[in-house]
């Protein structure tokens, strides 16, 4: 065993006690005021004495392959420490105050049980090497870990910003409370920190995650009910995230330059929405002529579509439509369809597959002829073709044996 008398080696600068059976750091070692390097790897250490706080000259501390489960507060007083290595121990978490060690250049913590790095690690000023492999780390996520230490710290600061963590806020004066800005991190998943600590992030009012690689959002985002602004431009969304429809305080959504093909009906319930940016997508529903008419027209269209999908009566009159919305083909049990007062030039064949259709109003459009398939909806009882440009009465109409009312006013027949 190491005796207290070791403290008499007052000039000792380098002490190596690797591969022994040392079970604790004797206080005599802590009295070695000239010691700059201490290596006690491959022993049986489980803790440190508080006296270690007095080792002000210590620059390197190597404690690999022991049985440590945590780092003591005393280590935060080692202001000259440049290298700290605690690989292959049983450490579960690292002290959030470690960035106070402004001389620290290397932190080696491989093969422990660490699940997340503290947000405060974004405050490290001189750390150039942080090794974390072999840990069950979920924060930062793998997307960030693969990009190197500077990206790790930038990411942690971004995620921590809305929380107004005291240590961070005291250094970063430009932090905006409630705003998460995490652009250009190449993220393929939404920050897991927000999903795990949703209650802490209820303060969020804005999320800006432009220029990443996101394709979906977790359901937890729907719990952030204070959100007013979401920006996910330049990502990989093929579908508008369903959780948007639950965020009724949203006033602004930016989904420019994604892979969207339609805007879901749930968006129609966002009555506070003032801005919706979807340029750079291939939106087919709602038709772009509706999108370009502005938010009120878009919300009205989506709301009508949602109501029609439930009631079976789809009322799309006066929406400046140049073609029948392709999404109508996907609706089942439609009995009434009103597409009057638009600018539709032809009716697609898919419309006539609606065997449940009883009333079809396509008056005041620019239709020039009727497709032969108009004979398919055998339950059709009312057909209004008034105020179009039809010059021939199609013989296909003769197959509509249940037709009771036919309006052909103001055509060219």
Residue 220: half-sphere exposure toward Cβ, Cα within 13 Å? 16
- pLDDT at position 165: 64
Q: Give the residue from 225, 221, 218, 172 showing the smallest Cα distance to 203.
A: 225
Q: What does the buried/exposed string (b/e) look like for 39-76 if buried means 16 or more CB atoms within 10 Å of the residue's CB? A: bbbbbebeebeeebbbbebbbbbbbbbbebebbeebbb
- pLDDT at position 173: 47
Residue 317 corresponds to which tokens in the numbers above?
A: 């009159």
Q: What percent of the chain has pLDDT over 90?
A: 61
State the pTM of this model: 0.81
Q: How confident is the model at residue 67 (pLDDT cuts 50, 70, 90)?
A: very high
Q: Is the pLDDT of residue 94 over 80?
A: yes
- pLDDT at position 171: 52
Question: Residue range 219-234: average pLDDT?
Answer: 95
| C-alpha distances in Å from residue 43, one per residue of 5, 64, 86 | 21, 8, 12
Measured at the CA of 289, the angle between CA 306 and CA 368, to 5 degrees, comes to: 100
Q: Is the pLDDT of residue 1 over 60?
A: no
- pLDDT at position 176: 62
Q: How confident is the model at residue 98 (pLDDT cuts 50, 70, 90)?
A: very high
Range of 74-78, 80-84, 169-173 with top mean pLDDT:
80-84
pLDDT in tens, 344-388: 998 888 788 777 889 999 999 999 988 888 888 878 999 999 999
- Distance, in Å, from the CA atom of 203 to the CA atom of 225, rounded to the nearest integer, reads 9
**Is the pLDDT higher at 73 or at 133?**
133
Is the CB of residue 74 less than 8 Å from the CB of residue 49? yes
Residue 91 corresponds to which tokens in the numbers above?
A: 């450490």
Mapped onto helix, strand or coil, the DSSP state of residue 319 is coil
Q: Residue with structure tokens 């660490």? A: 114
Other CB atoms within 10 Å distance of the CB of residue 199: 7
Say if strands 37-39 and 14-16 run parallel, antiparallel, or are unpaired: parallel
- Distance, in Å, from the CA atom of 408 to the CA atom of 122, rounded to the nearest integer, reads 72
**Is the pLDDT higher at 4 or at 261?**
261
Q: What percent of the chain has pLDDT over 70?
A: 96
pLDDT in tens, 328-342: 877 888 899 999 999
Is the CB of residue 360 less than 8 Å from the CB of residue 382? yes
Q: Give the residue from 246, 272, 266 showing the smallest Cα distance to 309.
A: 266
């Amino acid at each position: 065993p190491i005796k207290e008398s070791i403290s008499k080696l007052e000039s000792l600068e380098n002490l190596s006690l690797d591969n022994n059976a040392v079970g604790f750091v004797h206080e005599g070692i802590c009295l070695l005021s000239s010691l700059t390097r201490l290596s006690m790897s491959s022993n049986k250490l489980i803790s440190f004495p508080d006296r270690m706080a007095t080792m002000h000259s210590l620059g390197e501390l190597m404690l690999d392959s022991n049985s440590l489960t945590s780092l003591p507060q005393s280590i935060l007083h080692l202001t000259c420490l440049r290298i700290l290595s605690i690989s292959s121990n049983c450490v579960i978490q690292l002290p959030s105050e470690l960035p106070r060690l402004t001389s620290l250049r290397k932190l080696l913590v491989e093969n422990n049980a660490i699940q997340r790095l503290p947000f405060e690690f974004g405050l490290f000023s001189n750390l150039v090497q942080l090794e974390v492999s072999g840990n069950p780390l979920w924060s930062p996520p793998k997307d960030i870990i693969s990009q190197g230490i500077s990206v790790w710290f930038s990411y942690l600061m971004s995620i921590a910003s809305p929380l107004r963590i005291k240590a961070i806020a005291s250094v970063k004066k430009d932090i905006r409370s409630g705003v998460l800005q995490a652009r250009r991190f190449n993220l393929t998943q939404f920050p897991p920190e927000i999903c795990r600590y949703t209650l802490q992030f209820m303060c969020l009012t804005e999320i800006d995650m432009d220029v990443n690689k996101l394709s979906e959002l977790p359901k937890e985002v729907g719990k952030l009910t204070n959100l007013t602004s979401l920006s996910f431009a330049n990502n990989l969304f093929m579908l508008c995230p369903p959780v948007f429809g639950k965020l009724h305080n949203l006033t602004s959504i930016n989904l420019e330059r994604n892979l969207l093909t339609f805007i879901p009906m749930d968006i129609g319930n966002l009555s506070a929405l003032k801005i919706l940016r979807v340029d750079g997508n291939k939106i087919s529903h709602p038709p772009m002529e509706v999108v370009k008419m502005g938010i009120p027209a878009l919300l009205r269209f989506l709301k009508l579509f949602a109501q029609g999908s439930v009631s079976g009566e789809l009322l799309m009159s006066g929406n400046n439509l140049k073609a029948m919305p392709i999404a109508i083909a996907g609706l089942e049990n439609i009995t009434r369809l009103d597409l009057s007062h638009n600018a539709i030039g032809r009716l697609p064949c898919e419309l006539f597959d609606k065997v449940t259709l009883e009333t079809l109003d396509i008056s005041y459009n620019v239709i020039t002829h009727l497709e032969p398939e108009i004979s398919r909806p055998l339950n059709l009882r009312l057909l209004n073709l008034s105020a179009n440009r039809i010059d021939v009465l199609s013989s296909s109409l003769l197959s509509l044996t249940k037709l009771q009312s036919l309006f052909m006013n103001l055509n060219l027949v």
